[in-house]
Amino acid sequence: MTPREKSDLVCRLGREAGFDAVGIAEAAPIARRAYLAEWLAQGRHGEMSYLERTAEVRCDPRRLLEGARSVIVAAQSYKPDSDAAHRSHTVESSNVEPRGRVARYAWGRDYHRVHRRKLQRLADALHKAVGEEFETRVCVDTAPIVEREMAAAAGLGWIGKNALVLHPRLGSYLFLGEIVTTPELAPSQPMTDHCGSCTRCLEAWPTHAFPGPFQMDAMRCISYLTIEHRSQIPGELQPAMGDWIFGCDICQEVCPHNSKAPAATESAYGPSERFPLAPQPPLATILNMTEDQRQQWLAGSAMKRATLAMLKRNAEIAARNGEEKRRNPEN
C-alpha cells in the first residue's frame, strides 16, 4: 500500500471506530515550540510543573516512539444536545438553591477511558488491515504531547484565539487523541484560520486570562484554577470565577463556530444519574461531601482529578460569589 492508500484507510477505519474527524500529521517537531519554551520561561504554566519536566518530549512526538514517522489524530465532539440548562444558577433569591457549574467535558464518563478505547480499536483495526509489521503508541491527554499542535498539523482545524482547536463544522468542544506510529502516511492538508477579526473569546473571559490572541496565561484561567491549581486561589481572581467549580466553558460558549456545531453523537459524554455532581451540583452537597462520597460519586468521571479539598475550596468561592450577586444583582 502507498502512503496515501494507508492514510485513506486510516480515515475510513477512524470513522468506523466512532470518531467525528481523523487526520494525519508527520511525526516532526511542533511548529510553535519556541512559543512553548517562552511560555514556560514566563511561568504561565502555574503549578503544572510536569509541563516543564516533559517540554522536550512534548515538542517532538518522535521521542514517544522509536522510529515514529506519522501521527494519527482523532477528534470527537462532546457538545451536549442542548445548552439551555447550563447557565448560571448562582443564587439570586433566598428561594433558589445555590448551585455550581461543571465544564461540559466532565458531564459524563471520563473521556480518557472512552477516547482511549476507541483509539486502541482504531490501532488494532489498522494492524489487521495493513499487511506489514509496524509499531503504535496510543496517547490521550496524559501523554507528553501537545495535542492542539498535532491536531492543527493534521488538518483537524486551526488554533483559535482562545488557544483551542476549532473545527469548521464541529467547533471546539472536542476531545483529541493520537496514535504515534512508524509507517509513513500521507499527511492531511492543514486548515487556514477562520477566526477573522472576531475577539469574542478574548473579551468574554472575566479573569483576563489572555494577554493577547493565541496566548493564554494559565494562572488566570478558571479551568486551571479549579482543576490544576492545588493551593489557595488568589483573592483578586475569586470574584471573577462566578459559580464555576470544575473547569470553565466561557470562551467556548461565546464562539460563533460552536453555536452552529451539531450535538455530539457519543452518549457516554452526556449527563447521567451515574454522575450526580454534573452539570450543576448544589453547592451544599459539595461543601458537606466526604472523601468516601467523592470516591463513589466521581468514580469513572474526569472530575475525580480534583481533590476533595479543591472541590470544597471552589464551592466556597462560588457560594461567596452567589451571595454577593444576591446582595448586588446589578453588579
Cell, residue 177 = 487523541
Give the span between the Cα atoms of 86 and 181, in whole angstroms.
39
Give the span between the Cα atoms of 214 and 210, in whole angstroms.
8
Check if the beta carbon of residue 76 is closer than 8 Å to that of residue 18. Answer: yes
Q: How far is CA 299 from the centre of its chain?
A: 19
Options 141, 193, 217, 292, the catalytic residue: 141
Residue 184, helix vs strand vs coil:
coil
Length of the chain: 331
Check if the beta carbon of residue 89 is closer than 8 Å to that of residue 279. Answer: no
Residues 6 or more apart from 29 whose CB is under 8 A from it?
59, 60
Check if the beta carbon of residue 289 is closer than 8 Å to that of residue 303. Answer: no
Cell, residue 138 = 496510543
Buried-state track 154-188, b at ≥16 Cβ within 10 A, e below 16: bbbbbbbbbbbbbbeebbbbbbbbbbbbbbebbbb
**Cα end-to-end distance, the chain, whole Å:** 63
- Report cis status (omega within 30 of 0) of the bond before 239: no
Q: What are 137's strand-pairing partners?
A: 180
Asked about 141 being catalytic, the answer comes back as yes
Active site residues: 141
